[in-house]
Chain A
């Protein structure tokens, strides 16, 4: 299964998020690492990870609407973010995490 970004920079550490079995294609999962909520999405067998709280007004992206262009819209006020880059047309940038799959486990670069 591909991950959204295979390599982490040297400033990052890889942290185990969950098993890939816990996130089948089409599913989403909320996890917490170091008190930070992270929303995981398995879209067509590619895993994406984004900080759960929308930078606009903290809406939970885990409940967001995913579009066909690789974006997610916050369920509260509709701000859209690219799941690969965190970029938005709005005046904010969401934090996204690099992902790798190894030995049946999902790792995030934090």
Chain B
């Protein structure tokens, strides 16, 4: 893939993303925090986080007293999935911002996740499948450990390992993860689990047996699911972005090149199905900001995937300093 074309696309889409700032920035008023977290991830990977300190401190300001966040910034009932995404963005941003409020906020988020884990290792959120939900606090704890945050460290390690084992124990023999309520096709959930929950252990400290085999099987399943033209899940742009990004990270960590053609087909399909500005949920649908953030993130990760430094793409998940 021509990196000059990728660079031009990133420049153009980032400008479009900034023009839409009032639709994702908490400095403009209450927002959907899932969208906010997607936007803050773009800032992180575009390396512009220091220019947006107010956005990160505004996210701290809408943290609930229990340490979590609500799907809408103006609400007060915390839910796990969005809380993990917000906490993850804050701990990663604070590497560059070094702000006391963010440090305290991350520690409160750790408290929230330790308080809400179930006995069998899962976390529960009524809006998401339990496996998918569980992958997000596990991902947050991956980064907590990778970046050396020591707040309640022994409890974090214990909770993280229980969450990880819950995920590994629920992998299907064919390599995928399924949830009949939320993800019967298994595509999106499998892409999420291997990149967000599992593979980090191979980078951080290799504490849990079976992670490598689980990721290898999961990545192989993802490749098998890809349509000939490069998409996943009936031309679902969101899920195609998920799978493409997941394979970039997991195959880099596994040092496997056998999925490279799959990644390239996925990336090509995503680029071919872009609107004039941004992406929609399916080809031909109008642009929405969340998908546009995902698209920008995919392009930024692809650039890192092509970088001569092999670890560059791993850093974009926060698993390395």
Contacts and interface: CB of A to CB of B under 8 A. Distances in A.
Contacts of B128: 77
Contact of B282 (A57, A58, A63, A91): A63
Contacts of B233: 75
- Of A57, A60, A89, A90, most B-chain CB atoms within 10 Å: A57
A88 to B, nearest CB: 11
A91 B183 contact: no
B276 interface: no
Interface in B26-50: 34
Contacts of B184: 73, 78
Contacts of A75: 233-234, 236, 281-282
B182 interface: yes
B285 interface: yes
B255 interface: no
Name A's interface SS. Answer: loop
Contacts of A79: 182
A60 B281 contact: yes
A76 interface: yes
A89 B128 CA distance: 12
Interface string B115-144: 000000000001111000000000000000
B126 A78 contact: no
Interface in B267-310: 281-282, 285, 288, 290
Nearest to B280: A60
A89 B234 CA distance: 25
B179 A76 contact: no
A84 interface: no
A80 B184 CA distance: 12
A79 B180 CA distance: 11
Contact of B281 (A76, A78, A89, A91): A76
A54 B22 CA distance: 23
A28 interface: no
A10 B280 CA distance: 37
Contacts of A86: none
Nearest to B183: A78
B198 to A, nearest CB: 20
24 contacts: A56-B127, A57-B34, A57-B290, A58-B290, A60-B282, A60-B285, A63-B234, A63-B281, A75-B236, A75-B281, A75-B282, A76-B236, A76-B281, A77-B128, A77-B183, A77-B188, A78-B129, A78-B181, A78-B184, A79-B182, A80-B181, A90-B127, A91-B126, A91-B127
Interface of A: 56-60, 63, 73, 75-80, 89-91
